[in-house]
Amino acid sequence: MKQAQLQQSSGLPDTARFDDLEHWIIVVKQPEAKEQWPSFPYSDILQKRHKRLCKNGDDAPPPLLTDLPNEKAGRVALSTIKPDLSAFELLSLARKLAEGHQDYRARELGIAVIGFSAKKSARVAEALLAAVLAADAEMPDFRKKRKDRARLEQVHLYGVPEKYGFARSFAEDEGNALARYLTALPQNELTPTLYRKRIAALAKESGWKSQFFSIAQLEKRKAGAFLAVAQGSPQKDGGILRLRYAPEEPETEDTLALVGKGICFDTGGVNLKPHNYMMGMHEDMEGSAVALGTLTALTRLKAPFPVECWLAICTNHIGPDAYNPGDIITALDGTTIETVHTDAEGRMVLADTLALASRNKPKLIIDYATLTGACVYAIGKAYSGVFTNQTDFLPIMVKAGVDSGERVWPFPMDEDYDEALESKFADVKQCSSDPGVDHILGARFLQRFVKHDCPWIHVDLSAGNNKGGLAHVPTDTTGFGVRFTLNLLLDQKIMK
């Protein structure tokens, strides 16, 4: 996906430069009491207009959208902020500032960060870049009268020292945009076959090795949990796809395994979903798209460790061959499962995929899935739930969420939750028929299939779709997880 180019300058633009560009985003450090605004072109006029937005002494009004009083009547989105805004607050503000330019579809955009220390100016600029790039990313649009839009070609950044680079922002955006684009595609444009064709093109472009475990191969491996879900589809095109990135000069052989739920459409199976819950089920593959987007970002950044990406791709259809409640199924590792509800298909396909992914004893496994409605009921759509078999990971995951702006909340994983999954006929129940903590029970179920005591994190993507966007992302489909994971790996260094 084509991205804009970045030109960066530590100084501020002069009046001629302001007049040359028609579109600007300006963020000024909020002045303390009796403190004057920093001086920059048109600052007096902008300050007066900004003050008009202040009501009842409010010193932090909404963003100002205005035209410059020059020949081109340049469009400006401006805000004053305090330097200690949280990452989520900063990214959310950045999204609003970027929205001020969306109707114009500028080919060039100026960003000026004014009045901050060097380090904090880079933090503000990174949030603005993330929002601008997210807003510019191409999303699926099949309308006959689709508007031809100009794509952003150049971003001119001012007020940030050149020692602060933004390669990671561009890599994160590419991964997030890929995850959002794939997730937003309708099911007839992203069947398992079409999905694999898209991934094959990405693998060739990115230099990934690829291995596909087809239905026939999974039958030989007795991967009954995956096959139970896939058997309802009239097209036997599902399977488990393994991708591998290997750095040219690895610093370690410790491998990261990314695992993603890729249900291209989820009818609920025999336990058929009602209409209002059926809508949007083409997005039930978002976990696989986030895993793929994370792999893309790590590849672009030339991560110094190997990464394997395991994608469980199929559809959950209703039909004469579909699996049924009460079926006893044997998973790849020999575990017998009593089926309770055919709409709990995500944990079934992930069970065999996690068993395969953990066979090579990776340093860390992270799986992503739009797994449970219970997680949405528990924390809403502004956070995603996280679970782990390593208690020392809990504060690290929370910090990664806070620092990245993709916020997560950990849930308990105590063994006594397993009582709800006890079966009279098999080793484990797929889920409980009683309402309540299905997000926890789903995680407890999945943990059984993580072998060799591999450290493991499960991300239940309750924030995968949020009306109006989330943080810096302007679309309902958020691609949540790429930014969080890069912070977890590169800033929190969770694999060390």
Residue 247: the pLDDT is 96
Q: What domains are defined for the chain?
A: 5-164 (3.40.220.10), 171-491 (3.40.630.10)
> How many angstroms separate the CA atoms of 251 and 229, rounded?
39
Q: Which of 49, 221, 273, 399 is catalytic?
A: 273
**Whole-structure pTM over 0.85, yes or no?**
yes
> Does the pLDDT at position 57 exceed 60?
no
158 in helix, strand or coil?
strand
Three-class HEC string of 377-404 = HHHCCCCEEEEECCHHHHHHHHHHHHHH
Residue 58: the pLDDT is 58
User: Under 8 Å CB-to-CB from 301, ≥6 apart: which residues?
Assistant: 167, 168, 171, 486, 490
> CB of 76 within 8 A of CB of 53?
no
> How many angstroms separate the CA atoms of 206 and 295, rounded?
10
Q: Which candidate, 489, 483, 461, 263, places its Cα nearest to that of 365? A: 489
Q: Which of 29, 242, 244, 347 is catalytic?
A: 347
Instruction: Spell out the alpha helix ranges (H) of 394-467.
Output: 394-404, 438-447
> How many angstroms separate the CA atoms of 191 and 120, rounded?
45
> Does the pLDDT at position 481 exceed 70?
yes
Pairing relationship of beta strands 64-67 and 75-81 according to DSSP bridges:
antiparallel
- Half-sphere exposure of residue 279: CA atoms within 13 angstroms, side-chain side: 2
> CB of 241 within 8 A of CB of 310?
yes
Q: What share of the chain is helix, strand, coil (3-state, %, to 5)?
A: 35, 20, 45
Tokens, residue 434: 């009683």
Angle (CA) 139-140-143 rounded to 5° is 125
* 429 in active site: no
In sequence order, what are the beta bridge partners of 77? 25, 65
Tokens, residue 6: 């970045």
In sequence order, what are the beta bridge partners of 328? 338
Q: Which candidate, 330, 374, 368, places its Cα nearest to that of 458? A: 368
Residue 377: the pLDDT is 97
Residue 439: the pLDDT is 98
Residue 52: the pLDDT is 84
> How many angstroms separate the CA atoms of 155 and 133, rounded?
10
**End-to-end Cα distance, the chain:** 32
pLDDT in tens, 433-480: 998 999 999 999 999 999 999 999 999 999 999 999 999 999 999 999
Percent of the chain with pLDDT over 70: 98
Q: How is residue 285 annotated by DSSP? A: G
- Amino acid letter, residue 62: P
* 347 in active site: yes
> How many angstroms separate the CA atoms of 24 and 74, rounded?
8
pLDDT in tens, 141-154: 998 877 666 789 99
Mean pLDDT within 116-131: 97
Tokens, residue 5: 């180019």
